[in-house]
Each structure stands twice: as structure tokens, then as C-alpha cells.
Amino acid sequence: MKFLLVPDSFKGSISAKEFCDIVTEPIKECYKNAEILAYPISDGGENSVEYLSGLLKGRLMPCKATDSNFILKNVTFGVTDDIAIISVASSAGLADAMIKNPLYTTTYGVGEQIKMAKTLGKMHIYLCLGGSSTNDAGAGMLSALGVKFYDQDGNSFIPTGATLGKVKTFDLEEFNKNIKGMRFTALCDVTNPLLGKNGSSYVYARQKGASDKDIEILEENMQKYAAITSTLGVDSNFSGSGSAGGMGYAIKAFLRGEIKSGIDFFLDSMDFLAKAKNANYIFTGEGRLDDTSIMGKAIGGIMERSKELKAKLVVFCGQNALTTIPNAIYKVIQISDDNIPLAQNLATALTRLKEKSLHFLLEERNKQ
């Protein structure tokens, strides 16, 4: 028997690596000679740097960078060959933000990490755009890289979500020198545009701590900023421009980078089809499974690539909110109990995952 484990994290309860470690135990209990291949993955969010660095046989590099509240903190990014892998969440993440409000948070620390990577000779930067606490259109990052933003009085400043609308002019001279010869690739599975009801402010700012009034301010400022920076010749509403609080826009408009599917990059890096070719089962999972999960995110990417394989695709989840289970999925297993509080489910998630996976495996073994 051959098992391929490719889980995403269950946010707030189980990391992808923990999933692999936990599920391995019942597999060995039921199939002593089973071959188990485990690859924790991410669609560009939390733990992306750690997992990608492992896949690419790189290492983690510690450094100091400004966090989303303008406080210096310890962060890490991955390095291998001429590549650096930087997560927006490492310095500008929502989970670690002391003050959670995208009016005031910054991506400045992301730019600092890029500068550090360049001093190490890493000229190709992969940016993982998940888990941000910001809505500054990447202006903080750009400021750290040398872009000078000026208000109507000619004063330079570092824009945040609250002050993007004050940008009247900008100077790229120092910035262009700093990024000369560099390449940028963003890993993201969000397709939202920068502006409008489906844009970064209206869709994501609330979960980052913004009120209804804050969201209106953020959207107005983002529109003004997009108009000022339209001279760069990039449509502000391309697919993914609203990712990470508008970071996607900055990567294409200022850095002239490209945006790729995070899950596709992970699956390509691990050579998914070769690893899954002779598998009997593919186990994956995430916290909340819903219709968006199968539309470009981790589960959807795995599902698409598994359609022509003989392996049975099993999806574990904290909560199953799928309206219809696709034919490509053999079984969905919800590990939480709808009859108990969320806090209790989170606290017992590890135990429940082990119990549910063992129960499933025993059932499967009895069928054979």
C-alpha cells in the first residue's frame, strides 16, 4: 500500500506537518509495510517559506525586519541557489499583529527582507502572499526598497491604508537602482482585483480588523492611489491584484514581476504526478472545506491533478461546507463535532484527526 500525504494547514489548530505526523501513525497501525510519502504544502500562506525551502533543498535565514506595527522583530526567509523565498506574513502577518487594523499596518518589513536577500546574492525573489494584516497596496514594501512617496506639500512618507490617498507623486530613481537585475514571482491563489466590491478592501479588510467605516476609507484611498500610479501602465484590476491587501498590484506594477498559482508551484516543485502515480490513497486536508476550496486553492489543485490517477483522494477538514462533493474526491472526513463549541473542537483537533483517520483506514482495510 502506498500513501501520499499532501495537506494544507488547518488554521488555528493543525499545521500541515502535524497532519502528516499524526496520520502516519494509524496508517502504520493498519498497514505495517505501507510506503508513506509526506509533503506538507501551502497555497502561499502560513508556513510557505518553511515548506518551500524544504522542497527546494534550501535553508532558513534569520534576520530582523519591521513588523506590521512598525516594530522590529525576528523573521526568517528561505534561500537556495540564487533564490530567496519570502512570506508577507513573516513580517506583516495578521496572526502576529499587535494592533489589528489595516488602516495602520505596513508591509515595510517585506521590503527589508528583499534588500537583505539581495545582499546575499539572491536575485530571484519568490513572495508568498498569504496571511497579511495589511491593505497598503505594498506601498510599505516599496518604500523600504527606495520608492519615495510625496503628499501635496512635497513631504515624503510611508503610506499605510489610512494614508494611501495622500500620495500625489512618487519617485522611482533610487528604487530602480535597488532592484536592478532582480526578478520577482508572487505565489498566490487569490484572484480578487484591487478595487471594487470584490477587491482587497471590501473582501478582506474586515477579517483584518477593519470596521464598515474603515473599509470605506480604505477603498477610497486605494482608488486614489490606483489613479496616481496608473502612469506605470498596469491595469489595477487584473486577477490577483488585490491579494495581500493589494500587494499583487505592487508586484506587477512596480516590480514588474509575475503572479503564479501557489498550489501549482508547490505541486510542480514536489513533482506531484510522479509521487502520486502508484499511490493507493492521497490524503489532503484544510480547516474549512467549501466551494472556494476547489476553485484554485490547495484542495482544488490537488483534485485536478488526481482525476486521472488510480489513487483514492481523501479530504480531511475541520468543517465540511461543500454544497456538492466532486466525483474526483473519494471521501470527505470532517474531524470536528458540530455539537460542541469551536474552542473545544480546536483544542481536541489533533486527537480527533487521529481517531477519524484510524476509523477510515480500518473501514477500508475491511473492504479489501
Looking at the fold, whether 236 and 134 belong to one and the same domain comes out as yes
* CATH code where residue 170 lies: 3.90.1510.10
45 or 133: which leads in pLDDT: 133
Q: What contacts 74, CB < 8 A, 6 or more positions away?
A: 62, 63, 64
Q: State yes or no: pLDDT of 266 exceeds 70.
A: yes
- Tell me what the mean pLDDT of segment 17-44 comes to: 92
pLDDT of residue 136: 98
Looking at the fold, whether 234 and 198 belong to one and the same domain comes out as yes
Write the DSSP string, 49-95.
Answer: HHHHHHHTT-EEEEEEEE-TTS-EEEEEEEEETTEEEEEHHHHHBTT
pLDDT of residue 82: 95
Domain of residue 105, residue span: 48-262
Looking at the fold, whether 120 and 145 belong to one and the same domain comes out as yes
Going by pLDDT thresholds of 50, 70 and 90, the confidence category of residue 5 is: very high
Going by pLDDT thresholds of 50, 70 and 90, the confidence category of residue 322 is: confident
Ramachandran angles phi, psi of 325, nearest 5°: -85, 120
- Tell me what the mean pLDDT of segment 129-157 comes to: 97
Over the stretch 220-255, which tens digit does the pLDDT of each residue have?
999 999 999 999 999 999 999 999 999 999 999 999
If you average pLDDT over every residue of the chain, what do you get?
A: 93
Decide: residue 154, CB within 10 A, 0-12 exposed, 13-18 middle, 19+ buried. exposed
> What is the C-alpha separation between 181 and 222, in angstroms, rounded?
29
Looking at the fold, whether 257 and 285 belong to one and the same domain comes out as no
* CATH code where residue 349 lies: 3.40.50.10350
pLDDT of residue 46: 63
- CA nearest to 243, candidates 207, 192, 295: 192
Looking at the fold, whether 7 and 99 belong to one and the same domain comes out as no
> How far does CA 105 lie from the centroid of its chain?
18
Domain end residue (candidates: 200, 228, 262): 262
Going by pLDDT thresholds of 50, 70 and 90, the confidence category of residue 296 is: low
Looking at the fold, whether 22 and 61 belong to one and the same domain comes out as no
pLDDT of residue 342: 85
> What is the C-alpha separation between 172 and 154, in angstroms, rounded?
15
Q: How many domains does the chain have?
A: 2
